[in-house]
């Protein structure tokens, strides 16, 4: 007696990175110290280099707890200490020494460095309206050009991916950098579409050559969870 052949089923499957790809967790540094005219920040190559604020250290601890359970093979930080300080709890948990990637430092804001960007944004400087309307950092006097910024950020992500095939890495960086990376990955018409990542947030990118896949943006679940 013959039996009917079993029908082939085609299931939906969860995403998995293609062979050779690099998973990159983009972590925005914790909240940095407030800007005060009476106490300007130290500068590194012309860019403000504040410490983390107390809330920023809490962000760092929470990021460390969140990512310690992931399979993280390498850590990256920038030349600015707020990223180093944010990475420190995770580095200690994993026993990893972060690698410095200078090209993932924040956009250079020219004449608006050292807290002036925060001040002018809060006080409603007319150039701030122009910045959002034109979506070009270089409307700020003396700021790094958008082309140069995008080029160095892309080069840095490419280097990290090429050095870490089939690995997962955590990159501790800055809000402007995360916005630029994800705008490039998604080919966003709105260049500032991904600005506004929260301090201590985690975004997730998969890179294989010129193929950049956005998996997650501004994940902050760990910032509201109980610590410890």
pLDDT band for position 5 (cuts 50, 70, 90):
confident
pLDDT band for position 226 (cuts 50, 70, 90):
confident
DSSP letter, residue 119: H
- C-alpha–C-alpha distance, residues 110 and 71, integer Å: 38
Domains of the chain: 23-59+77-165+173-204+216-222 (3.40.50.1240)
Q: What is the pLDDT of residues 107-155, one digit of tens each?
A: 999 999 999 999 999 999 999 999 999 999 999 999 999 999 999 999 9
Q: What is the pLDDT of residue 108?
A: 97
Using an 8 Å Cβ cutoff, are 152 and 174 in contact? no
- C-alpha–C-alpha distance, residues 20 and 228, integer Å: 35
Q: Rounded mean pLDDT of 204-227?
A: 95
Using an 8 Å Cβ cutoff, are 198 and 28 in contact? yes
Q: What is the pLDDT of residue 2?
A: 55
Using an 8 Å Cβ cutoff, are 170 and 140 in contact? no
Q: Rounded mean pLDDT of 18-27?
A: 98
Q: What is the pLDDT of residue 152?
A: 98
To the question of pTM greater than 0.85 for the whole model, the response is: yes
Q: Does residue 37 have a pLDDT over 90?
A: no
pLDDT, mean over the chain: 95
Count CB-CB contacts under 10 A for residue 202. Answer: 24
List, in order, residues 6 or more apart from 147 with CB less than 8 Å away.
none
Using an 8 Å Cβ cutoff, are 177 and 1 in contact? no
Q: What is the pLDDT of residue 227?
A: 80
């Amino acid at each position: 007696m013959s039996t009917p052949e079993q029908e082939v089923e085609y299931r939906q499957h969860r995403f998995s990175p293609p062979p050779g790809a690099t998973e990159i967790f983009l972590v925005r540094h914790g909240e940095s110290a407030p800007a005060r005219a009476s106490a300007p920040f130290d500068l590194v190559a012309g860019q403000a280099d504040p410490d983390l604020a107390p809330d920023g250290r809490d962000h760092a601890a929470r990021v460390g707890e969140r990512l310690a359970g992931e399979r993280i093979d390498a850590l990256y930080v920038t030349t600015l200490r707020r990223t180093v300080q944010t990475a420190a709890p995770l580095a200690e948990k994993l026993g990893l020494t972060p690698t410095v990637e200078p090209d993932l430092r924040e956009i250079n804001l020219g004449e608006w460095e050292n807290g002036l960007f925060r001040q002018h944004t809060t006080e409603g400087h007319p150039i701030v309206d122009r910045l959002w309307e034109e979506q070009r950092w270089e409307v700020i006097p003396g700021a790094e050009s958008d082309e140069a910024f995008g080029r160095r950020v892309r080069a840095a992500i490419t280097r990290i991916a090429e050095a870490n095939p089939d690995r997962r890495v955590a990159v501790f960086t800055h809000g402007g950098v995360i916005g630029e990376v994800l705008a490039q990955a998604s080919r966003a018409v709105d260049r500032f579409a991904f600005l506004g990542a929260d301090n201590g947030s985690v975004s997730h990118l998969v890179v294989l050559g010129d193929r950049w896949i956005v998996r997650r943006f501004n994940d902050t679940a760990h910032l509201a969870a109980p610590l410890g």
